Amino acid sequence: MGTHLDNLLKPEARRTTFYDALVLDAKLRQSLVTMRSLGSRGLTVAALEVADVLQQSKHVPAFASRWCRRAYVAPSYLQQTDAFLDYLLHILDHTGAQVVIPSADGTLEVLRAHRETVAWRAQLALAKEEALAVATDKEKTLDIASRLGIGIPRGVSVQHVDEVPEAVRTVGLPAVVKPVESWLWGKGRGVRVISQLVTTHDEAREAVEKLTQYGGSTLFQQFLDGRREAISLFYADGTMYARFAQWAKRTQPPLGGTSVYRQSIALPEDITGQAERLVRAIELEGYSEVEFRRDSAGRPYLMEINPRLSASIEVAVRAGVDFPYLLYQWARGEKLERVTSYQTGGWMRFLEGDILTTVQALAQRGRPGVAPPAQSLLDFIAAFFTPAAYDYLDKDDIRPLWTATRDFLHRGVQRVIRGPSSRRNMQ
């Protein structure tokens, strides 16, 4: 692991440090994928994570990558963003890093708030603010989508528990309660909030209470139990440079979580066109992942747009669509090559997530959308017999897998000692 500001200030370090890209949120899986993608193309990459993440566990897979020239540990931005920002600016000033790539909702928010200060020093791999303001707000996204004739889940907006009975009358149960924005600054600290499945009035009240405790509004939506499909796009200057589709067979947690077992698929006609129209309407440049879920009859409904690299990105990269590299080239203002095809049928598995989601499926048996215990176990075991790529595993860069395994074991031990800890953005 590398060192920090002191070393940067030394003149010799100043001469020798130079990065093509600084990858933020090093702990996230998509950050490791980004480092590997850029590093194996001969680019010089450094990674950054914040101190509170390292306090939970010091094992950061991307820091162990052979492509990681230096690992930076910045002060947290959860309580206040100043120290984090100062640290980031300092690195940029002293290393000449060309491009900054964020992947977490939290860093995205910090960069949006201080965009000009950062952009003055390095290129930000981010869409313009007007587009981000829509894409990070589910209500606004769904609004535009429905005007474009794209299917959206039946739903109402709920700000307060008192509105729950009316919402249940309109939408019915089971339902999904989800925050309008995934990242909230509440009580002087940033928190990521996630969707919840509710099956009774009490659960609905509880979920709304919990999700509105830091302010913010929730969406109360009909529950859809069909396939989860996502379209990844790369859009710039009016041109769609890449399109990719995948579906997630299992997510962790079973509802509202990050995808753990997923497969590249041919572009579905209906949602590919819809995703494109949406991204063009918002003028959302760069990478975006447009998430859909189908109902039992196969009709698609829009979930949301992620205007940042998501954990599922590796399926696309392995299938031949190198979104992180496109993102880098776009940020640098380089000419982009159109990607016209990719391999379909490739499975990818996040083993830690799959273990957890199988355990959760056993605990949540009988809940809507959760497979019966025998089926869950069988599916989990069957996946070992299906050829698949595994997250972290790369024969040309083996240390991150070992680091991820130690991290998993470390957190397992912590969980036993302290009980379950709060969930960070894993998507």
Residues that bind ligand ADP (CB under 6 A): 153, 176, 178, 182, 194-195, 221-224, 228, 251, 255-256, 291, 293, 303-304, 427
User: Which residue, 256 or 320, is less far from ligand ADP as judged by CB?
Assistant: 256
User: Which residue, 329 or 425, is less far from ligand ADP as judged by CB?
Assistant: 425
Q: What angle do CA 407, 411, 414 make, to 5 degrees?
A: 145
User: Which residue, 98 or 251, is less far from ligand ADP as judged by CB?
Assistant: 251
Give the pairing type, strands 258-265 and 218-222: unpaired
User: Which residue, 39 or 151, is less far from ligand ADP as judged by CB?
Assistant: 151
Residue 155 CB, nearest approach to ligand ADP (Å): 7
Contact status, residue 399 vs residue 66, Cβ threshold 8 Å: yes
Q: What is the largest CA-CA distance in the chain?
A: 68
- The residue among 105, 154, 36, 148 whose CA lies nearest residue 425 is 105
User: Which residue, 46 or 305, is less far from ligand ADP as judged by CB?
Assistant: 305
User: Which residue, 383 or 426, is less far from ligand ADP as judged by CB?
Assistant: 426
- The residue among 105, 84, 100, 53 whose CA lies nearest residue 308 is 105
- In Å, how far from its chain's centre is CA 414? 24
User: Which residue, 31 or 98, is less far from ligand ADP as judged by CB?
Assistant: 31
For residues 413 and 402, give the distance between their C-alpha atoms in angstroms, rounded to a whole number.
17
Residue 427 CB, nearest approach to ligand ADP (Å): 6
CB neighbours of residue 42 within 10 Å: 8
Residue 304 CB, nearest approach to ligand ADP (Å): 4
Residue 223 CB, nearest approach to ligand ADP (Å): 5
CB neighbours of residue 369 within 10 Å: 15
User: Which residue, 51 or 194, is less far from ligand ADP as judged by CB?
Assistant: 194
User: Which residue, 184 or 303, is less far from ligand ADP as judged by CB?
Assistant: 303
User: Which residue, 76 or 252, is less far from ligand ADP as judged by CB?
Assistant: 252
Burial class (CB in 10 A: 0-12, 13-18, 19+), 308: buried
- In Å, how far from its chain's centre is CA 212? 22
Residue 274 CB, nearest approach to ligand ADP (Å): 15
Q: What angle do CA 175, 179, 181 make, to 5 degrees?
A: 145
Residue 295 CB, nearest approach to ligand ADP (Å): 9
Residue 201 CB, nearest approach to ligand ADP (Å): 18
Burial class (CB in 10 A: 0-12, 13-18, 19+), 406: middle
Residue 225 CB, nearest approach to ligand ADP (Å): 7
Residue 104 CB, nearest approach to ligand ADP (Å): 12
Residue 154 CB, nearest approach to ligand ADP (Å): 9
